[in-house]
Amino acid sequence: MDFYEYGYHEVITNADNVAIVATAHDMIEISQMLTTAAQRTKDWLTNIELELAFNKFEVMNITKSRTHNECEVEIDNTKIPASPSLKYLDLHIDLKLNFSEHAHIVAQKTSITANKLMKIMSNISATRPRRSRLRAEIIRSQILYGVEF
């Protein structure tokens, strides 16, 4: 089914992560579609004795128009408002799909990791080039997480 087809939604699952992707011509329809799909997903999880973590539930509205109409999803009388970005599989996605927030967060994480590695590796008796290469590979793997080659 084509992603841009009118009134389409898809549930994507990966381990303990669920993403519901929907397209429609107006915000009322998309809100209803997402609410229905989210409620069905919650019911399915309940049937297999799992629980939906409402504190981790995020909604984001990506639109071609310049105005970002707010979308709200309601599950069991809990309203989840739209946010400017969301986290899925440890990737931070923003409204413009340019991953600038993800880059900022990864830069902070790698800075912390590099500082901790410097403290740990100062006590290791390996040669400097080997320590530098190990540190670089650890940081490189953090930066390139989620990048397709």
Do 106 and 87 share a structural domain?
no
Do 106 and 39 share a structural domain?
no
Q: Return the pLDDT at 110.
A: 92
Residue 140 DSSP label: H
Do 133 and 72 share a structural domain?
no
Do 125 and 86 share a structural domain?
no
Q: Return the pLDDT at 125.
A: 66
Do 112 and 81 share a structural domain?
no
Do 115 and 78 share a structural domain?
no
Chain segment 2-51, per-residue pLDDT in tens = 333 445 667 776 667 777 777 777 778 888 888 888 888 888 888 888 88
Number of structural domains found in the chain:
2
- Alpha-helical regions (H) of the chain: 27-47, 100-121, 128-143
Residue 24 DSSP label: -
**Is 129 within the bounds of a domain?**
yes
Give CA–CA dist 58/21, Å, rounded: 12
pLDDT at 75 over 90: no
Do 81 and 39 share a structural domain?
yes
Cα dihedral across residues 38, 63, 12, 55: positive or negative: negative
Do 113 and 42 share a structural domain?
no
Helix (H, G, I), strand (E, B) or coil at 20: strand
Give CA–CA dist 36/34, Å, rounded: 5
Do 55 and 23 share a structural domain?
yes
Do 46 and 27 share a structural domain?
yes
**Is 76 within the bounds of a domain?**
yes
**Is 122 within the bounds of a domain?**
yes
Amino acid code (one letter) for 21: V
**Is 41 within the bounds of a domain?**
yes
Do 43 and 12 share a structural domain?
yes
Do 60 and 29 share a structural domain?
yes
**Is 49 within the bounds of a domain?**
yes
Q: Return the pLDDT at 2.
A: 34
Chain segment 94-123, per-residue pLDDT in tens = 877 788 888 888 999 999 998 988 888 777
Range of the domain at 105: 100-143
Which residues are 80's β-sheet partners?
Answer: 73
**Is 132 within the bounds of a domain?**
yes
